[in-house]
Amino acid sequence: MVAVGTIVWLSSELMFFAGVFAVYFQLRSVRADLWAEQTAKLNVTFAAINATVLVISSVWCQLGVWKAERGQKARTGSLLDLKSWGMREWYVLTYLFGAFFIAGQVMEYAELTHENVTLSSDAYGSIFYMATGLHGIHVTGGLIAFLLIIARTFTTKRYTHANATGAVVTSYYWHFVDVVWIALFITIYILK
């Protein structure tokens, strides 16, 4: 029930991002001159490293999901023994990678603001911050969800099926946000 609801909600989220992509392509098709000028200011290498971190976080998330599905909420051995890690440890690692991504986004925003690309500077600035910002808010929401899911492993005595479902649907959301970023990254930084 929870999983089906999450998927249906995520497909509606897809249409939300469809609106963002449509605005981006439409503005680009009418203001090619502005795009040529402003996209030159993007730091593609930095953004590529940041995107890689987000993609890797999805891998850690999936490793956590497999542990959750087997009902293993926490590590059984030492912290250095990766094989004994449970869902909690992998989700903490995912959280750290996700937080790194958001910190990178903030740095990138600061850099672009110095170069006079702001939300109100021109059409490019508006859609750049709208697209990456709305995605950033989604990632931040995912980070809060991870904290709640990790906290749940401490408040329940047994790691039940309902707990595991919560962890699994959070991973659906995280993978979705990750895929949206790949599409946004290709659109904004590679196609320009």
Partner 1 sequence: MKVETKLFAYLCVFFAVLTLIYGFWSKWEEPIGTTALLLTMLLFLLTGFYLYVTGKALPLRPEDNITGEIDEGEGNYGYFVASSWTPLWLALAGAVMFTGLAVGWWLFIIGAFLGAVALVLWVFESFSGEYSI
Contacts with partner 1, residue ranges (CB under 8 A): 1-4, 7-8, 10-12, 14-15, 17-19, 21-23, 25-26, 28-29, 148, 151-152, 155-157, 160, 162-163, 166
Residue 156 Cβ vs partner 1, minimum distance, rounded to whole Å: 5
Residue 97 Cβ vs partner 1, minimum distance, rounded to whole Å: 22
**Complex with partner 1: residue 41 or 152, whichever CB lies closer:** 152
DSSP, residue by residue, 7-39: HHHHHHHHHHHHHHHHHHHHHHHH-HHHHHHHH
Rounded Cα distance, 183 and 31, in Å: 21
**Complex with partner 1: residue 14 or 107, whichever CB lies closer:** 14
Residue 22 Cβ vs partner 1, minimum distance, rounded to whole Å: 4
Are 37 and 130 in contact by the 8 Å Cβ rule? The answer is no
**Complex with partner 1: residue 25 or 115, whichever CB lies closer:** 25
Contacts of 33-36 spanning 24+ positions with Cβ under 8 A: 34/122, 34/123, 34/124, 35/124, 35/192
| Nearest residue to 117 via CA among 103, 105, 127 | 127
Residue 102 Cβ vs partner 1, minimum distance, rounded to whole Å: 18
**Complex with partner 1: residue 82 or 182, whichever CB lies closer:** 182
